[in-house]
Structure 1
Amino acid sequence: MAPSALEDLDWQSVYERPELSVRAAIIKLRGCDARLQALSPDLDALVRVAFCDAAYNGGWSHLQQDRQLCALQRGCDADQWFGHVELHSVKSREKWQGYGQSAYDINREHVRNTVPLQSRRMKYLPWLGV
């Protein structure tokens, strides 16, 4: 993490200074990106963004479990999100009471809404760097 960049972040400031929450999210996503580049240096930048978005919402360990599950499936490329890892998950597909969606649906929908070029992703490009 980057403690100096987040030294003012606490439970009070999170409500008063939204830029700190955005900064924390960007630091977390960039940390994920660095971990992915170290694990799989040949991953496409857009694939890394999709993986990190899924990890941001669902956890790094779940992303790695989903990639392993994909790798066990015939024809599934664990280094590709769209059409591959996105279809295989250890997350529950049972709808959560009060949400109307499952953990799987929430996680995958967020990636679909934010990562593809035709999504809302374009407004975040200056901060994500990809």
Structure 2
Amino acid sequence: MFKEFKNFIMTGNVIDLAVAVILAGAVGLVVNGFVSDIMMPIVGHFAGGLDFADMKIVLDEAVVAADGTVTKPENAVMYGKWVNAIINLITVGFVLFMIVKAYNKTKTPPAPAAPAGPSDNDLLTEIRDLLKK
């Protein structure tokens, strides 16, 4: 069983998949940084200084003691973070689309098929006809 597992792990497909997952994580971090640090401030600027990450619906206000400490934290639906995640997803999808599109352009087109010659049956039929003569 260990030998079968070792053979499975050492196949090219599993190693390719592992490399792809690691690269996808790195690309995800880069794209996430791009979205949160570059795109969202620009979108917020054109939205009137709005920061999506801070958008929320407060269900229960925070309870603050007289000395300023929070005794019960705020309970809120943070839908702004979800909007950021959707924008991040769309951006990651677009970047991956562009990467795959560029990769597909680098592939060499398949060689044209060789012209089909006579089949074995045709050759055998020809030999039979020649022998009959």
Taking structure 2 as the reference length, the TM-score comes to 0.25
Larger Rg: 2
Structure holding more strand per residue: 2
